[in-house]
Amino acid sequence: MSLKDTSENANCRAMSDVLNRIGDKWSVMVVGMLSGGTLRFNELKRQINGVSQRMLTLTLRNLERDGLVTRTIYPEIPPRVEYGLTDLGKTLGEPINALWDWSAANHEAIIAARLAYDARHKETEAPPARKYAGAA
Amino acid sequence: MSLKDTSENANCRAMSDVLNRIGDKWSVMVVGMLSGGTLRFNELKRQINGVSQRMLTLTLRNLERDGLVTRTIYPEIPPRVEYGLTDLGKTLGEPINALWDWSAANHEAIIAARLAYDARHKETEAPPARKYAGAA
DNA sequence: CTGTATCCTGTGAGATACTG
DNA sequence: CAGTATCTCACAGGATACAG
């Protein structure tokens, strides 16, 4: 199925749906982390630099709900919870990896393109504090 | 390069950066549309169902800035502007397609997982308004 | 340790109106 | 037709405090 099918809402919605998960950087991080094996909550939190407890919890819940991540509670004291990828989660790892590779391969090109673009438009574009053209 | 490298900030940032573009559904749509050939502004607007003029403009600007999309102005009356993919944009199409395929293939599984999850948690837990912004 | 509830802020994004 | 500017609202997400 090609990308051209916006009118075909079924696929379009599927993609949007998945994109909402993929596009979330924390989800991607979590899937990446867990691809190396199961981890506990705080292990994840430590390894994923910059994630807040709240976001990690929400991310994990969403991933779990979508059937991508498993959550195993060990009713001990202190409590222990381990997260891992489901089979579905593992298959998702592949397209994500493709994207990761693409990013690594082309990030520089993008940066360069941005610089070029900005340079190109610095001449054309006017300063930010310009409201009306009243007097000047 | 594996996904495991959050500590390795270079790749991590590259990924985040790219993800910010990929994660945006309009960007994905535009790239998808343009993969079939160049289109004019309003052609895009019509074909991408639900996009506002504003968002389409912003999306196109970002894609152009990132070197993924070309913008060609024909100084006619009425004005005509055509958008197309750059080579870089085309290469991006491939991982995106992989994701698209994954979505198509696994969307049902995800839907099912969600239903299962919701059912599983309706018994255990019974909070109707799960979002904090709900009742206020 | 593993979460949930709350507050607060910035930003994303639609609607609308105007310009060239 | 193509695009910019502005207003507005909702929501994502960080910080924090509390609970099991």
Nearest to B113 among A3, A49, A65 (CB): A65
Higher pLDDT, residue A122 or B35: B35
What confidence score (pLDDT) does residue A49 get? 87
Bases of strand D lying below 7 A from some protein CB: 1-6, 11, 13-17, 20
The segment with the largest mean pLDDT, out of A43-47, B15-19, B46-50, B93-97, is A43-47
What confidence score (pLDDT) does residue A35 get? 93
C-beta atoms of A23 and B18 within 8 A = no
Bases of strand C lying below 7 A from some protein CB: 1-7, 13-17, 20
Residue pLDDT tens, chain A, 136 long = 444 444 456 677 778 888 888 888 899 999 999 999 999 999 999 999 899 999 999 999 999 999 999 999 999 999 999 999 999 999 998 998 898 899 989 999 999 999 999 998 876 554 443 333 333 2
Instruction: Kindly report the CATH number that applies to the domain delimited by A3-87.
Output: 1.10.10.10
What confidence score (pLDDT) does residue B24 get? 87
Higher pLDDT, residue A70 or B134: A70
Mean pLDDT, to the nearest integer, of B13-25? 83
Q: Are A16 and B49 in contact (CB under 8 A)?
A: no
Out of B2-11, B26-35, B98-107, which region has the weakest mean confidence (pLDDT)? B2-11
Q: Are B90 and A4 in contact (CB under 8 A)?
A: no
Task: Identify the helix (H) or strand (E) that includes residue B70.
Answer: strand B69-74
| Residue B64: pLDDT over 80 | yes
B6 touches chain A (CB under 8 A): yes
Listed in sequence order, the DSSP H helices in chain B are 9-22, 25-34, 41-47, 53-65, 87-124
Name the closest residue (CA) to the C1' of nucleotide C6: B132
Residues in contact with B127: Cβ distance below 8 Å, sequence separation at least 6, in sequence order: none
pLDDT band at B26 (very low <50, low <70, confident <90, very high): very high
Out of A25-39, A115-129, B24-38, B85-99, which region has the weakest mean confidence (pLDDT)? A115-129
| Averaged pLDDT score across all residues of chain B | 84
Name the closest residue (CA) to the C1' of nucleotide D12: A55
Task: Locate A121 and state its tokens.
Answer: 């438009």
- Domain coordinates in residue numbering, chain B: 3-87, 92-136
With beta carbons under 8 A apart, name residues in chain B contacting A33: 3-4, 6
A115 touches chain B (CB under 8 A): no
Mean pLDDT, to the nearest integer, of B21-43? 92
A101 touches chain B (CB under 8 A): yes
Minimal-distance CA residue of chain A relative to B96: A99
With beta carbons under 8 A apart, name residues in chain A contacting B93: 3
With beta carbons under 8 A apart, name residues in chain A contacting B106: 18, 88, 91-92
3-state secondary structure of B128: coil
B3 touches chain A (CB under 8 A): yes
Nearest to B99 among A18, A20, A35 (CB): A18
Beta pairing, strands B39-40 & A39-40: unpaired
Nearest to A19 among B17, B28, B48 (CB): B28
